[in-house]
Homo-oligomer: A and B are copies of this chain.
């Protein structure tokens, strides 16, 4: 019987080298961040010559970009996981806010659990130095929604439930994203080594502040 995923034993023609290299690169990035993604090492782990990679990536930054996309997908999955353990109360207003909170928590938790991949996900393409770029809409989770789409969904729900002022809708995504992204960055960097308890408290406080800023006063 032929196993569906297994490639027939051909020393040449790996089967799906591209995926294998991305996986290896992801593993490298997991500890060590984007700068730990080393083309030769990835090839070595896959058991292929270094230059074979050039059949699938124009150069190193291309591999890194592919890994970043993979990381982005994992981010989305982390959010989905948090959303999954949400139990709707039936109160649309409350549920919408809870939705947003779950999205935020999924984001921060991914950053904390996978610092290397998180850093890689937001290492901008080419030139590597935080420059501009919009890889954006790919990197989807299991439900086929990207991280940014999940956030937009939450905000739409809030708008529909009437807890978000229409005037704020436009900037809400950026503001919420910024708050959560910045928090993650700080928790990983300058405020690393914070005891988990305090950390969780800080996350909650931060998410609450986002809420306070966004939610219609009443």
Interface residues, chain A, CB within 8 Å of chain B?
Answer: 29, 31-36, 115-116, 118-119, 122, 124, 127-136, 148, 171, 174-175, 177-183, 185-186, 188-193, 202, 205-206, 209-210, 212-214, 217
Contact = CB atoms under 8 A, between A and B. Distances in A.
Number of this chain's copies in the complex: 2
Contact of A189 (B33, B133, B171, B193): B133
Given A179-B182, A205-B171, A214-B209, A118 B132 contact: no
18 contacts: A29-B129, A33-B130, A35-B35, A115-B129, A115-B130, A118-B130, A131-B189, A131-B192, A148-B190, A171-B206, A174-B186, A177-B182, A178-B178, A178-B181, A178-B206, A181-B186, A182-B182, A213-B213
B191 A174 contact: yes
A189 B181 CA distance: 12
B36 A193 contact: no
